[in-house]
């Protein structure tokens, strides 16, 4: 169908062909075409964006995947959003599956909260809404002055476990650090499996944890009255690496939100092998896989790494056959449809739990291509729907 007549368009802000694959999958499910635009880099390194069609009064969705060149991708998104704003688009919604700089969402030493800065820049550029997946910290949503829909990739990874891992009932869900225990517990409860936690591997050193903002003054200025002396801080000691939980004779499935530098995952796999796990999987939403990650995975005890396509990683897959990809374009396309039609996003919560995919189709269900048994709304929307019923 002609999406232009229904008041919405989908654009890709990436200048490289490898990064537009997710955008093409989403538009294919929506039955639409990518908006006409040109994004490229000038010879002097500047980013240029040109919109080749009218967007006046329409809902515009900008799909931006984040490649290794993060800063270029951010500038492409900002410039495209500002170009669409000046072209009088009604709403500008950013579809950013992996939100960049999400690891820099806390103050450390004399640094800055870069994620908050980026949120302010996106608002200034003209974005009015963001769709993302599995933010590194849920509190990041509070950095924005407009709505943020934080979707979940866990249903697709859970489905992969059930369908692609033989004898998964003999598996144990593993958190590679206490910080990841909550996520691992959610997986374990949904799959009715045991839980194990690796303690000590991901602990930061005393140098990393020290907050430089509270460092003492120079010796020549350190004039403190004896009655005001503060108690000495006890030095930290990194505990020995231990595994809390039994993984002997089981399949170990390590879950996390981001796989970037894989040294900690490789070390966790070695420990689990020592504890008797006979097969080891690593599953995460965002597969950044920086630096020597493919080589380290290939040479490690890890049997398989499963990530979604929120971040393009085709080159890494060629370097390491152990890396597998799960497509999440389905939930993103449904989120776009619901936002444009003014429907409740709450229906994506049971959808994201995967059980809702098994519910029967209702009288007022509307379907994205490939969507299976989406729970129907309690009442039909008063606004026109983008998609006809599936036949």
User: What was the pLDDT predicted at 106?
Assistant: 86
**Residue ranges in the chain assigned as alpha helix (H):** 21-30, 70-86, 114-125, 154-164, 181-191, 206-209, 263-274, 293-299, 314-319, 329-341, 348-352
φ/ψ of residue 199, rounded to 5? -110, 130
d(CA 298, CA 199): 25
User: What was the pLDDT predicted at 17?
Assistant: 78
d(CA 285, CA 152): 9
What phi-psi label fits residue 342: left (phi over 0), alpha (psi between -120 and 50 degrees) or beta? left
User: What was the pLDDT predicted at 312?
Assistant: 93
Which residue has tokens 């949120």? 119
- Contacts with 135 (C-beta within 8 Å, 6 or more apart), sequence order: 99, 102, 141, 150
**Rounded average pLDDT per 10-residue block, the chain, 391 residues:** 66 84 94 93 93 95 92 96 96 96 88 94 97 93 94 93 95 94 94 93 46 55 58 74 92 96 93 96 95 94 96 93 95 94 80 45 41 38 39 37
Task: Fill in the DSSP letter of residue 64.
Answer: -
* Domains located in the chain, CATH noted: 3-152+329-358 (3.40.50.2020), 154-202+239-326 (3.40.50.2020)
CA distances from 158 to 63, 154, 283 (A): 25, 6, 10
Q: pTM here?
A: 0.81
CA distances from 211 to 90, 106, 109, 206, 276 (A): 44, 12, 4, 10, 39
Which residue has tokens 């995952």? 265
H or E, element range at 195: strand 194-199
d(CA 89, CA 202): 46
Which residue has tokens 């590194």? 136
User: What was the pLDDT predicted at 222?
Assistant: 52
Terminal Cα-to-Cα distance of the chain (whole angstroms): 15
Q: Residue 281: name the closest of 162, 135, 151, 103 by CA.
A: 162
d(CA 348, CA 99): 19
């Amino acid at each position: 169908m002609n999406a232009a007549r229904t008041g919405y368009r989908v654009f890709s802000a990436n200048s490289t062909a490898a990064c537009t694959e997710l955008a093409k999958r989403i538009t294919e499910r929506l039955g639409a075409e990518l908006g006409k635009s040109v994004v490229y880099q000038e010879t002097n390194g500047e980013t240029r964006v040109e919109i080749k069609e009218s967007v006046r009064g329409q809902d515009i969705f900008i799909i931006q995947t984040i490649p290794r060149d993060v800063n270029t991708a951010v500038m492409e998104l900002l410039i495209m959003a500002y170009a669409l704003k000046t072209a009088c688009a009604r709403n500008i919604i950013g579809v950013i599956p992996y939100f960049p700089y999400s690891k820099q969402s806390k103050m450390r030493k004399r640094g800055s909260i870069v994620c908050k800065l980026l949120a302010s820049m996106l608002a200034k550029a003209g974005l009015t809404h963001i769709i993302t997946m599995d933010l590194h910290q849920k509190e990041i949503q509070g950095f924005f002055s407009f709505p943020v829909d934080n979707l979940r990739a866990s249903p697709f990874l859970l489905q992969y476990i059930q369908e692609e891992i033989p004898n998964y009932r003999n598996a144990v869900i593993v958190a590679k650090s206490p910080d990841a225990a909550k996520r691992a517990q959610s997986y374990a409860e949904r799959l009715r499996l045991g839980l194990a936690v690796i303690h000590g591997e991901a602990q930061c050193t005393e140098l990393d944890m020290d907050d430089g903002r509270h460092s003492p003054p120079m010796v020549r200025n350190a004039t403190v009255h004896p009655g005001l002396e503060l108690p000495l801080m006890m030095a930290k000691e990194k505990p020995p690496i231990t595994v809390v939980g039994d993984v002997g004779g089981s399949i170990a499935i390590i879950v996390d939100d981001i796989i970037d530098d894989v040294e900690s995952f490789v070390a966790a796999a070695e420990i689990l092998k020592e504890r008797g796990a006979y097969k080891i999987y690593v599953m995460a939403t965002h597969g950044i896989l920086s630096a020597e990650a493919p080589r380290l995975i290939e040479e490690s005890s890890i049997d398989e790494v499963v990530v979604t396509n929120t971040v393009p990683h085709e080159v890494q897959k060629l370097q390491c056959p152990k890396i597998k990809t799960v497509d999440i374009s389905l939930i993103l396309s449904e989120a776009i449809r619901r936002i444009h039609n003014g429907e409740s996003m709450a229906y994506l919560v049971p959808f994201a739990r995967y059980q809702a995919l098994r519910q029967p189709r209702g009288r007022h269900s509307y379907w994205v291509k490939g969507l299976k048994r989406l729970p129907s709304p309690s009442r039909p929307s008063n606004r026109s729907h983008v998609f006809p019923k599936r036949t």
